[in-house]
Amino acid sequence: MESQFNQIRNSIKGSITLKLISIGAVILILLIPKSHIESLIYERQGLRNEAIMDISSKWGLEQTIKGPIVSIPYWCYEKIDKEVHKIKKYAYFLPEKYNVNGELKPESRYRGIHEVVVYQSELMIDGEFSKPDFSKLNILEKDILWNEAQLQFGISDLRGINESIEINWDGAKQQFSPGLSSRHIMQRGLNTPITFTESKNYQFKFDLSINGSSNISFIPVGAETKVLMKSSWKDPSFTGNLLPRNRKITTEGFVADWSVLNLNRPYPQQWKGAEYQMDDSQFGVNLFIAANEYQKSTRSAKYALLILFLTFITYFLVEVLGKKKIHPVQYGIVGLALIIFYTLLLSISEYLSFNFAYGIAALVIIVSIAGYSASIFQSAKRGVSMGGFLSLVYFFIFIILQSQDFSLLIGSIGLFVTLVAVMYFSRNVNWYNLKLKASENNHES
C-alpha cells in the first residue's frame, strides 16, 4: 500500500503537466503584489502632482496670454413674441500687428522630494490696430456704441501678475483694470477703455511682469504675430499647434521665435459674439523636467509579467534539461524578488535619476537571484549563468524604456529571439516520455 502511495506521489511530482500548472499558478499569485506596486506608483505620482499644484497655486499656474483684443458693443434688434427688442451684443477686432519680446527666469522649488519649476516672465508687448470696420460685419453706424469700446487682455491666472500694467494707447498712458465686459473670447482678464476718433492705425505698447509654472503660451491674435522668447532653461519643450520658426538650444539656455500669419489660424480679424474660439491655435514653451520617474516606473512595471515568464521558463528548461527539480515555493521566492525590483526602482528614482536607479535595483536583484540559483542548482556555474541571463533581460527592458518610439519593434524582435532560443534548447526533448527527476547529488525540494 505504501509502495503504491509512493508511486502515485512520485508520479505527481514528476508530472510535467502539473509542474506547468503550478508555475502558472505562481505567476497568477504574483500578479497580486504587481498590481499593488502599480497602485503605489500612481499614489506617489498623485502626491507629486499635489505638490506641484500646491506650489503653482501660490506662485501662479501655467499662463496663457491672449490679446489684447478690441471689444465694442452694438445694438441688435430681435423680434420676440411679435415685439422688437433692443439687445446689446459685442463685436471683436484683432490687431494688425502683434509683437512679444520676452524672457523667462526659471526657478526650481521643492516640496519634500518633489521638484517644481516656476518662472518669472518679463514681456514687452506692442503692436497696432486699424480703426474697426463694422461694414464687414453688416452693422450700421447708428447702432455702434463707440463710447464703450474696450481693450481686453486675457491672462489665464491673474494671481501671477507682479505689478500694475500701464498701456500706451495711441500716445496716451492708461491703466488696465480687472474684469471683462464680455466673456465670449476669454474668461479671465483685464480691460481698459479706448477711443477711436480717426481712420488710422492705433499703436499700443505695454510691459507685463507675470509669474507662472512650467508653461507659458500665446494666442496669435495679430494678422502678423511675432514672438521672441529667451531663457536660461536648458531643456525647453515647444508646445501647442505652432512650432517656432527658429530656435537655438545650448547649455546656457534657449532662444526661440515664432512668426504667425492670420492665414495660419482658423479665425478672422473680426467677428460678432461667440462665432469663433481661439484656444486651439495657441503655442508656447514648456520648461521641461527631463526625467519623469513615475511615468518610466509605470512603463517598466508593465513588463513585469514578461520578466516573470522569461525567468520561469529558463528555470523550467533547467529542470527539464539539467534534471534539477525546483519546488513551486522556490519559483515563488524568485518571483517575489523580481517584483520587489519595482519597489526598489520607484523608491530610489525619487532621489536619483531613473537610469541610475534602474541600474542599482537591477544589480541588487540580479546578484540575489544568481546567488539563490547557485544554491538551488548546487552549481556556481549555473548561478552565474542565471545572473547573466537576468542581466540580458533587464538590459533588454531598459533599451525598450529608452526607445519609446521603437519599443514595439524592439520588443517584438526580442520575443522572437527568445522563442527561437527556447525552440533550439528544447528541440530534442521528448515531451511524451518526460519525467522530472532529481539528480543523485541533489536533494528533493
Q: Contacts from 324-329 at CB under 8 Å and sequence distance 24+?
A: 324/376, 324/377, 324/378, 324/382, 324/438, 324/439, 324/442, 325/13, 325/436, 325/437, 325/438, 325/442, 325/444, 325/445, 326/376, 326/445, 327/445, 328/22, 328/23, 328/25, 328/26, 329/445
Measure the CA–CA gap between 391 and 138, rounded to whole angstroms.
74
Cell triple for 271: 467677428
* Average pLDDT, integer, range 52-56: 72
| Position 437 pLDDT exceeds 60 | no
* pLDDT on residue 258: 94
Strand ranges inside 131-223, DSSP E: 150-155, 166-169, 172-175, 177-178, 189-193, 201-213, 215-218
Tell me how far apart the 2 most distant CA atoms of the chain are, in Å: 115
In sequence order, the 6+-apart residues with CB closer than 8 A to the CB of 352 are: 360
Q: CA 131, 133, 135: angle at the middle one, nearest 5?
A: 165
Neighbour count for residue 366 (Cβ, 10 Å): 20
The residue behind cell 514528476 is 14
The SS3 of residue 286 is strand
Contact 239, 283 (CB under 8 A): yes
Which helix or strand (DSSP H or E) is residue 226 part of? strand 224-231
* pLDDT on residue 407: 62
Q: Where in the chain are the domains? A: 15-47+294-433, 60-290
* pLDDT on residue 440: 41
Contact 439, 321 (CB under 8 A): no
Contact 119, 212 (CB under 8 A): yes
Q: Provide CATH code, domain 60-290.
A: 2.60.40
| Prediction pTM value | 0.69
* 224 band by pLDDT with thresholds 50, 70 and 90: very high
Rg (CA), the chain: 34
- Among 177, 173, 133, 127, residue whose Cα is nearest residue 152: 177
- Among 219, 210, 213, 221, residue whose Cα is nearest residue 286: 213
In this structure, of 182-191, 213-222, 294-303, the range with the lowest mean pLDDT score is 294-303
Contact 111, 117 (CB under 8 A): no
Averaged pLDDT score across all residues of the chain:
82
Phi/psi of residue 24, each to 5°?
-60, -40
* Average pLDDT, integer, range 342-354: 84
429 against 337, higher pLDDT: 337
In this structure, of 10-14, 33-37, 73-77, 195-199, the range with the lowest mean pLDDT score is 10-14
Cell triple for 190: 483685464
Give the number of C-alpha atoms closer than 13 A to the C-alpha of residue 162, restricted to the C-beta side. 12
* pLDDT on residue 15: 64
Measure the CA–CA gap between 92 and 184, rounded to whole angstroms.
9
> What confidence tens digit (pLDDT) does each residue in 335-347 have?
888 888 888 888 8
* pLDDT on residue 51: 73
* Average pLDDT, integer, range 197-213: 89
Contact 213, 61 (CB under 8 A): yes
**What proportion of the chain, given as a percentage, has pLDDT over 90?**
21
In sequence order, the 6+-apart residues with CB closer than 8 A to the CB of 440 are: none
* Average pLDDT, integer, range 63-79: 88
> What confidence tens digit (pLDDT) does each residue in 78-89 have?
877 777 788 888
* 123 band by pLDDT with thresholds 50, 70 and 90: very high
Q: Which one-letter amino acid corresponds to residue 85?
A: H
* 125 band by pLDDT with thresholds 50, 70 and 90: very high
